[in-house]
């Protein structure tokens, strides 16, 4: 499944559900169904509108559901776990860089 070139999208702040459906190659009913499991997708107004951030989230959900077979009900848990797992890795990397720099400074002495 190829990624979408967002630079070719019309320069708009919000896109309708039909535009997003066509862009992602999924049915509008699927998008509405996925909104039940990912409340961030649902706009506050009656008319569904999606910004680039929501479209990217939908694209990620599509990849998880269609390619990896994750059930829509498990998506929120999966995304939260994935997001939280990156944070400790960044902390570990920073700590290792500090240790490396400390060792380099100790060798100079």
Q: How many CA atoms lie within 13 A of 87 on its CB side?
A: 5
Structure tokens at 38: 């990912």
- Give percent above pLDDT 70 in the chain: 90
Q: How confident is the model at residue 4 (pLDDT cuts 50, 70, 90)?
A: confident
Sign (positive or negative) of CA dihedral 84, 89, 95, 98? negative
Q: How far apart are CA 32 and CA 47, in angstroms?
A: 12
> How far is residue 93 from each of residues 66, 77, 80, 89, measured CA to CA in Å?
33, 25, 21, 6
Percent residues over pLDDT 90 in the chain: 28
Tell me the residue length of the chain.
109
Show the tokens assigned to 69: 């077979």
pLDDT value at position 87? 56
* pTM of the predicted model as reported, rounded to 2 decimal places: 0.67
Residues 54, 5: Cα–Cα separation, whole Å:
15
Residue 38: CA atoms inside 13 Å, Cβ hemisphere, count?
A: 27
Domains and CATH numbers, the chain: 6-108 (1.10.1660.10)
The whole-number average pLDDT for the span 8-13 is 81
Average pLDDT, the chain: 83
pLDDT at 2 over 60: no
**pLDDT the model gives residue 96:** 86
- The string of pLDDT tens digits covering residues 22-73 is 989 999 999 999 998 888 888 888 889 999 999 999 998 999 888 888 888 8
pLDDT band at residue 1 using 50, 70 and 90 as cut-offs: very low
Query: Residue 15: helix, strand or coil by DSSP?
Result: strand
């Amino acid at each position: 499944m190829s990624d979408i070139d967002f630079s070719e999208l019309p320069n708009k702040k919000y896109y309708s559900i039909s535009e997003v459906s066509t862009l992602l190659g999924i049915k509008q009913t699927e998008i509405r169904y996925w909104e039940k499991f990912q409340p961030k997708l649902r706009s506050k107004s009656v008319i569904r509108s999606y910004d680039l951030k929501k479209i990217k989230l939908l694209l990620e959900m599509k990849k998880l559901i269609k390619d990896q077979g994750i059930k829509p009900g498990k998506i929120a848990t999966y995304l939260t776990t994935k997001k939280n797992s990156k944070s400790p890795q960044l902390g570990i990397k920073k700590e290792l860089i500090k240790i490396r720099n400390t060792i380099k400074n100790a060798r100079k002495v």
